[in-house]
Every structure is written in C-alpha cells, then in structure tokens.
Amino acid sequence: MLYNRCSEVDEHLWQDLSQADPEDMLRRTGVRRNGKVWQVPYFNRELVADLDNRRIYLADAPQDEPGFRRCLITLLYLLLIDATALGPPVSPLELPGATMFFQESGPHAIPSAPLEERFGRDPASFWEVGRRLGGEKRGGGDAALAFRVFPGLTVEVILWLADDEFPAQVSFTVPSQLHRFWQHDAVLGLLGVVVKELLQTATPGNE
C-alpha cells in the first residue's frame, strides 16, 4: 500500500466534492449535506466528510486517523455511486474485466487470507464481529454476514471453516453493477476496508 493517511487522497477529489450538486448526491445516496459537512452512515457508525478542512473522520472518534482507503472510498461513494442502481450481489471476480485485474497474490489479490487466518477456526468471533458491526446473517458457507458499508453499498463475507482436510476459505460479494461507478482498484480498496474493520473489531479476548 503506497498511501496510508487520509491527507494523501488526491486533492482533485475534494475539489470535485466542493463542486458537486448536493441535491444530486442526496438523490443518489440519500446522504444530505449540512453546510460544508456530510454525515455518512458507515457500518453501524457515522463518518463525517468535512469539506472546509478536507478531513474525513469517525463521528465518535474524531481524532483517530481514518486511513487512506477509508477516505478514498468515502469520497468515491459520495461523488460517483448511485445506490439505487447497484444491482444484486455477485463475486468480485464476476465483474466485467475483473479476472484480468484481480490476482491470487500480490497487490491486486482479493484480501481473504487475513480473515481466513483470524476466523477460520473461530466462528464465534466471526458472529460477534458481525453483531458489533451491524452485519446481517446470510446463507452460504458455514457462516455468512452482509455489511452495509455505506447506504445501498453492501459487501457480504462468506466463511468456510477449516477442518482436517481443507483450509479455511473466505469469499466476498459486491453489487453486480459496481463496475459502472468504480474502477477495480476502488473495489479492491472497499474490500480492504471491510477486512480491516472486521479484524479491528474482532473480540480482543479471542485474538
């Protein structure tokens, strides 16, 4: 990851946000502007996008560094996403052109390995993380949770537990029309944010 901090997000995205039509954004996402601030539902918390100070922060932890990827996908969501047109869930690999972008290893690998390692033999922690992040139980695998990252933008995490014959496996779903609004590197950033939230929220006593 070349960038780590929110301040490293391309300043042109902030310029685009300053010129964006608030009514169009409200129609697309349901997020309303309050002066120069947007209050964006994020999992079961709230992110604040502060245009004057070019900051994005958690409403309940304003001093914490939100990180590059979280800031980037928040801006891309506000600027580009139409939540009414995202479509049903599919594997990220089913997005047009995805098999040419995503790789089994390296910088374009789908980030399933950290979740497989953390939850592959610990379904209780997986369910607890889902509860704490407002995830919804879904069918599939041995355990599956859907997380509303932003309004209308849901990522599903599907876990197959490890056993004596097979290692743990994690897969994801994203909206089938997400490619209409975001390039694949933004989709990868979204998955990275989901993984980071799950790992940070994992029950401390079971880590």
pLDDT at 206 over 60: no
Q: Is the pLDDT of residue 203 over 70?
A: no
User: Based on the domain organization, do 72 and 20 belong to the same domain?
Assistant: yes
Residues 107 and 171 occupy one common structural domain: yes
- Quick one: 139 and 161 in the same domain? yes
Under a CB-based contact definition with an 8 Å cutoff, are residues 51 and 60 in contact? no
Crossing angle of helices 11-19 and 68-80, rounded to 10°: 30
- Alpha helices, H only, the chain: 11-19, 22-29, 68-80, 98-101, 113-119, 123-133, 184-201
> What distance in Å separates the CA atoms of residue 188 and residue 179, rounded to the nearest whole number?
11
Q: Is the pLDDT of residue 117 over 60?
A: yes
193 within a domain of the structure (yes/no): no
Indicate if the pLDDT at residue 121 is higher than 70: yes
Q: Is there a domain that residue 66 lies in?
A: yes
Q: Summarize pLDDT for 37-61 with one digit per residue, the tens.
A: 999 999 999 999 999 999 999 999 9
Range of the domain at 99: 89-179
Final residue in a domain of this structure, among 80, 101, 136: 80
Domain count, the chain: 2
On whether residue 199 sits in a domain, the answer given is no
Structural domain includes residue 148: yes
Is residue 90 within 8 Å of residue 171, measured between CB atoms? Answer: no
pTM of the shown model: 0.94
Please tell me whether residues 36 and 63 are part of one structural domain.
Answer: yes
Instruction: Assess whether 123 and 156 both reside in one domain.
Output: yes
The token duo for 100 is 């040419």
Q: Are residues 76 and 98 in the same domain?
A: no
Question: pLDDT-derived band of residue 107, with 50, 70 and 90 as boundaries?
Answer: confident
Assess if residue 48 is contained within a domain.
Answer: yes
Judge if 99 and 64 occupy the same domain: no
pLDDT tens for 165-196 read: 999 999 999 999 999 999 999 999 999 999 99
Same domain, 163 and 97: yes
The whole-number average pLDDT for the span 71-86 is 97
SS3 11: helix
Total Cβ atoms within 10 A of residue 110 = 20
User: Which residues on adjacent β-strands are paired with residue 56?
Assistant: 49
**Residue 188 placed within a domain:** no
* 76 and 38 within one domain: yes
Provide the pLDDT confidence category of residue 106 given band limits of 50, 70 and 90.
confident
**Residues 101 and 118 grouped into a single domain:** yes
What pLDDT does residue 5 have? Answer: 92
Q: Mean pLDDT of all residues in the chain?
A: 94
Query: In the prediction, which pLDDT does 204 show?
Result: 62
What is the per-residue pLDDT for 74?
98
Distance CA 85, CA 87 (A): 6
Same structural domain for residues 13 and 37? yes
Domain limit, last residue, from 45, 63, 80: 80
Residues 101, 72 share a domain = no
207 falls in which pLDDT band (50, 70, 90)?
very low
Q: Which of 204, 28, 18 has its CA nearest to residue 128?
A: 204
Residue 120 lies in a domain: yes
